[in-house]
Amino acid sequence: MQINALTGAFGAEVFDIDLKGGIESEQARSIEEALAENVVLVFRNQDLDIYDFERFAMSLGEFGETPFIAPIDGHPNVLRLLREAEEKGPLFGSGWHSDWSFQLQPPSATLLYALEVPEVGGDTAFTNQYLAFESLSDSMQSILRDLKGLHSAERSYGPQGTFGQPDPGSSMHIQGDETAVVLQAHPLVRSHPLTGRQSLFVNEVYTVGIEGMTKTESSALLEFLFEHSRQIAFTCRVRWMPGTLTMWDNRATQHFAINDYSGSKREMYRITLAGEQPVLN
């Protein structure tokens, strides 16, 4: 298994490994370590069916919980991220976010496998939250370590949210409900359970406030952190091809699905892996 850097900041492409039919435990450990170090891993030229995809995910950990979105029939842990060429509604995955950060135990990692992609467009951008935190002043780091962010799915999946009501024009069945308004507090800075490295843990989609602060106070600080966390120097970008499998560490990155492929179809399989409650050690 050969690992080549994707950018000078972070991310890596993985070669000389065939994921079809499963991997050995030693390979799984190597991938887990590589993900913790590189944050984003891209496996090119894979030929996977849905069973291969599930088998690979299970070799790395347990499945995470996926609310609000109907899975593939017979495969309760796999989503089909489908956008037909003629669709015009909101794009699932747009906006900088860490997957399901509103959960008590957000997913450790997300796996996305490309079935059909536009000839041009539909890339996914990532931003490294290790670098975002480490580039802050010592004083700001000290302030943030004492604070907790409030996360909620309300903006996306609440009754009045972007996906709060079923869209008959969407190829995906997304149904928000009242559970989306629940608030979950997580440290603004979390430690990675494998490396101990600290990262910023906020995102503009799901972080709605800061515990113990007024709305005015928290909004000012969060807007600074949102803007800071997505600086171009902290980012990398994955261009998809059929057979590309990308996995990322939700504990140390945010991502953004780019909506620049109107008139083209894009279809993916998606799995999340179970994670732990964020803590700062």
- Residue-wise pLDDT tens digits, 187-215: 999 999 999 999 999 999 999 999 999 99
Task: Please say if the pLDDT value at position 21 is more than 90.
Answer: no
Cα separation, 236 vs 39, in Å, equals: 11
> pLDDT tens digit string along 99-135?
999 999 999 999 999 999 999 999 999 999 999 999 9
**CA pair distance 45, 17, nearest whole angstrom:** 10
Spatial distance between the Cα atoms of 40 and 37, rounded to a whole number of angstroms: 9
**Contact status, residue 212 vs residue 132, Cβ threshold 8 Å:** no
Q: Which CATH number fits domain 2-273: 3.60.130.10, 3.30.1360.230, 3.30.70.2740, 3.40.50.2300?
A: 3.60.130.10
pLDDT tens string 50-62: 999 999 999 999 9
Q: Tell me the average pLDDT of the chain.
A: 96
Judge whether residue 69 has pLDDT over 90: yes
The pair of structure tokens assigned to 46 is 């894979």
pTM over 0.85: yes
Query: What would the pLDDT profile of 226-266 be if each residue is shown by its tens digit?
Result: 999 999 999 999 999 999 999 999 999 999 999 999 999 99
Of residues 217, 248, 242, 78, the one with CA closest to residue 143: 217
Q: Which residue has the higher pLDDT, 169 or 142?
A: 142
Q: Which helix (H) or strand (E) holds 127?
A: strand 124-128
108 in Cβ contact with 241 (< 8 Å): no
Domain ranges of the chain: 2-273
3-state secondary structure of 218: helix
Tens digit of pLDDT for each residue in 217-227?
999 999 999 99
